[in-house]
């Protein structure tokens, strides 16, 4: 037998866990390289541009541009009147990195490549995610 898998692990310390911890606190933060100035996503240890280890977290504007979208269809279920299609989008953040997300309140057919979007943190404590809205719908 191998060791029990339900033993609690060490506290989250990796870059991805740090990103998720910011999201859980309602913030979209990106790593920024202190040597070449690049903003980085996905979170990582080394700058992918200059291999520097000097990465610091900084708030992102949350603004970006839709790079592409792909529409996923799911089989409708009885009693479930949610839309049977939703779009996965890739957003080029103004800081540079590309992030995969969704525009949950925008019909898939209305999502245009090149449209400006604004990030928001949605979801419950412990399961928050980064979603986007059209920038012009800001309140």
Shortest reach from residue 34's CB to Zn ion, in Å: 8
Q: Which residue number, 34 or 61, has a Cβ lying nearer to Zn ion?
A: 34
Minimum distance, C-beta of residue 47 to Zn ion, in the bound complex (Å): 3
Cβ closest to Zn ion, residue 46 vs residue 90 = 46
Residues within window 13-42 making contact with Zn ion, judged by CB under 5 A: 33, 35-36, 38
Distance CA 92, CA 95 (A): 8
- What does the block give as tokens for 102? 């969704």
First to last CA, the chain: 57
Whichever of 32 and 106 has its CB closer to Zn ion, that residue is: 32
Q: Rg of the chain over CA atoms, in angstroms?
A: 18
**For residue 42, is the peptide bond before it cis, meaning its omega torsion is within 30 degrees of 0?**
yes
Binding site for Zn ion (CB under 5 A): 33, 35-36, 38, 47, 49-50, 52
């Amino acid at each position: 037998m191998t060791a029990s898998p339900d033993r609690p692990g060490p506290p989250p310390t990796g870059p991805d866990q740090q990103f998720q911890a910011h999201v859980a606190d309602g913030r979209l933060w990106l790593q920024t390289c202190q040597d070449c100035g690049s903003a980085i996503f996905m979170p990582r240890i080394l700058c992918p541009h200059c291999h520097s280890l000097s990465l610091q977290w900084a708030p992102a504007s949350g603004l970006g541009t839709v790079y592409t979208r792909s529409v996923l269809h799911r089989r409708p279920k009885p009693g479930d009147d949610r839309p049977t299609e939703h779009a996965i989008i890739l957003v080029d953040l103004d800081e540079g990195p590309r992030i995969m997300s969704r525009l949950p309140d925008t019909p898939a057919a209305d999502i245009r490549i090149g449209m400006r979007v604004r990030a928001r943190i949605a979801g419950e404590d412990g399961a928050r995610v980064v979603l986007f809205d059209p920038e012009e719908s800001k309140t």
